[in-house]
Amino acid sequence: MATKPSHSLMWNSKAECMPIEERRSLQLKRLQDLVERIAVQSPFYRSLFQKHGVKPGDIRTLDDLRRLPFTVKEDLRDNYPYELFATPLKDVVRIHCSSGTTGKPVVSGYTANDIEMWTEMMARSLTSAGASYRDVVHNSYGYGLFTGGLGIDTGARKIGAATVPMSGGVNNRQIMLMEDFGATVLTCTPSYALVLAEAAAQMGLDIRNRIKLRVGVFGAEPWTEEMRVEIEEKLHLEAYDIFGMGEIMGPGVSVECAYHNGLHMQDDNFLPEIIDPDTGEPLPPGEQGELVITTLTKEAMPLIRYRTRDITRLTDDPCPCGRTSVRHFKLTGRTDDMLIIKGVNVFPSQIEAVLLRHSELAPQYVLVVERKNNLDQLEIQVEATEAFYNQGADTISLFSEKLHYEMQQMLYVSSKIIIVPPRTVQRSEGKAKRVIDKRKEWLER
Ligand SMILES: [Zn+2]
């Protein structure tokens, strides 16, 4: 946790520092209005509420939220494309969807008011990261169906920053434009931030003196504190974590403040809960579980108790920045990403945390899981740095043994460590693909 914040900027202090009791009554009022509205206007929720025997009048306190049924990703797939919309299509002004290459995508619709609210959430988020009208925002999130590019863009426009609508790819050109345009804020996935740092280093560019980046706003995939250190050292900026999902809205659902002690949930619009992912039971404050979000104000596609599959915990301890919203800690992984190796739960983030402690290794890795002779095998392929790789096979082998031991202490399961030559792990322009689970391929055959 930062003891000395780098700034104290806030976009909407009246909303962000609202007294807690006032916020709770606003949340309740919005929840009651939402349930009343969708029980009439949304065919999906009308029938779901009937099935679960709940009526709008049942919501008398915020605790009554738990009487409402969950919404899961399969509901979005099964009701493709528009069945979850709670407004007629004539009132929808934007449609986004997931970028999956197989099957039907997950769709999200927005009314003009929804876009307005999203823009406000992004203005708050960028300001929370210390950005203002004085900044040049180099936006490497993808523009298009993915919500990252346009989400950041509208927020940056609202705060009056100059935005470079870059999208991902052509790394050398990104570096050239960052330098020439004097970019001060970088927005992209954390894994792509490292790819850009690597590209700059390969170009022989002195990042500290030639690139003016001051702040990075990184999200769309879980990342560790170790990754933060790596990015901050390589790009000479202060890294902020931002969270969002296309189904819920896009980026800006929550974001860190200058104290970096969790992400402030914009809970006047997004009501969070933590549940036990196995039983669905709500967990007491502070306990780790699956993040569930109810969108309180969205018009076109509101979601009730949407199971995000992200694992984290909440805190309502006061934050020195003055914002009164609930915070969640950095995501430790997604329930979908969790690997079960020989019956033990393993999150890729645990592996990343160990790998990034070592200066011998580059922050590029891939996990390969297979089943051989009915036994799960986890192989961790990680890149050596140029300097370390040149030290030769004996040194690398000795180091691998040490790493193997450390990994076992972290994961409680044995793994095979393979140190690969520099720049041999595939780089990504967006969300990194870190896991190859061959057991799934076997099951699907
Ligand atoms: Zn704060």
Give distance in angstroms: CA of 438 to centre of ligand 1: 42
pLDDT for 102 equals 67
Give distance in angstroms: CA of 16 to centre of ligand 1: 10
Give distance in angstroms: CA of 37 to centre of ligand 1: 33
131-174 per-position pLDDT tens digit: 999 999 999 999 999 999 999 999 999 999 999 999 999 999 99
Q: Cβ(16)–Cβ(124) under 8 Å?
A: yes
pLDDT for 85 equals 97
pLDDT for 337 equals 81
Give distance in angstroms: CA of 257 to centre of ligand 1: 5
DSSP bridge pairs for 97: 107
Instruction: From residue 69, give the alpha-carbon distance in Å to each of 157, 302, 306, 313.
Output: 37, 14, 9, 21
Give distance in angstroms: CA of 321 to centre of ligand 1: 4
pLDDT for 336 equals 78
Beta strands 314-315; 327-328: pairing state = antiparallel
Give distance in angstroms: CA of 410 to centre of ligand 1: 30
pLDDT for 101 equals 64
pLDDT for 100 equals 66
Model confidence at 442: pLDDT above 60: no
What is the pLDDT averaged over residues 16-23? 97
Indicate left, alpha or beta for 250 from its phi (over 0: left) and psi (-120 to 50: alpha): left
Banded pLDDT at 1 (limits 50, 70, 90)? low
How many residues are listed for the chain in this entry? 445
Q: Residue 408 carries which side chain, given as an amino acid letter?
A: Q
Q: CATH homologous superfamily of domain 339-444?
A: ANL, C-terminal domain (3.30.300.30)
Q: CA 163, CA 301: separation in Å to the nearest integer?
A: 28
Q: CA 295, CA 305: separation in Å to the nearest integer?
A: 8
The CATH fold of domain 1-335: Rossmann fold (3.40.50)
Q: Cβ(248)–Cβ(270) under 8 Å?
A: yes
Give distance in angstroms: CA of 272 to centre of ligand 1: 17
pLDDT for 372 equals 87
Give distance in angstroms: CA of 427 to centre of ligand 1: 33
Model confidence at 443: pLDDT above 60: no
Model confidence at 117: pLDDT above 80: yes
Percent above pLDDT 90 for the chain: 87
Q: CA 132, CA 128: separation in Å to the nearest integer?
A: 10
Model confidence at 307: pLDDT above 80: yes
Q: What is the mean pLDDT of the chain?
A: 94
Give distance in angstroms: CA of 320 to centre of ligand 1: 6
Q: Cβ(290)–Cβ(305) under 8 Å?
A: no
What is the pLDDT averaged over residues 91-99? 93
Give distance in angstroms: CA of 434 to centre of ligand 1: 31
Give distance in angstroms: CA of 149 to centre of ligand 1: 25
322-363 per-position pLDDT tens digit: 999 999 999 988 887 888 898 888 999 999 999 999 999 999
Q: CA 239, CA 231: separation in Å to the nearest integer?
A: 7
pTM for this structure?
0.91
Give distance in angstroms: CA of 210 to centre of ligand 1: 31
24-73 per-position pLDDT tens digit: 999 999 999 999 999 999 999 999 999 999 999 999 999 999 999 999 99
Give distance in angstroms: CA of 387 to centre of ligand 1: 40
Give distance in angstroms: CA of 64 to centre of ligand 1: 28
pLDDT for 386 equals 94
| Distance between start and end Cα atoms, the chain | 47
Give distance in angstroms: CA of 120 to centre of ligand 1: 18
Give distance in angstroms: CA of 14 to centre of ligand 1: 15
What is the pLDDT averaged over residues 224-249? 96
pLDDT for 296 equals 98
Give distance in angstroms: CA of 256 to centre of ligand 1: 7
Give distance in angstroms: CA of 12 to centre of ligand 1: 14
Q: Which of 291, 415, 287 is nearest to 351 (CA)?
A: 415
Q: Is the dihedral of CA 85, 88, 89, 90 positive or negative?
A: negative
Residues less than 5 Å from ion ligand 1, measured at CB: 257, 259, 319, 321, 323
369-411 per-position pLDDT tens digit: 999 888 899 999 999 999 999 999 999 999 999 999 999 999 9
Q: CA 293, CA 307: separation in Å to the nearest integer?
A: 7
pLDDT for 48 equals 97
Task: Tell me phi and psi for residue 251, to 5 degrees.
Answer: -65, 150
Give distance in angstroms: CA of 26 to centre of ligand 1: 21
pLDDT for 441 equals 58
What are the structural domain ranges in the chain?
1-335, 339-444
pLDDT for 353 equals 92
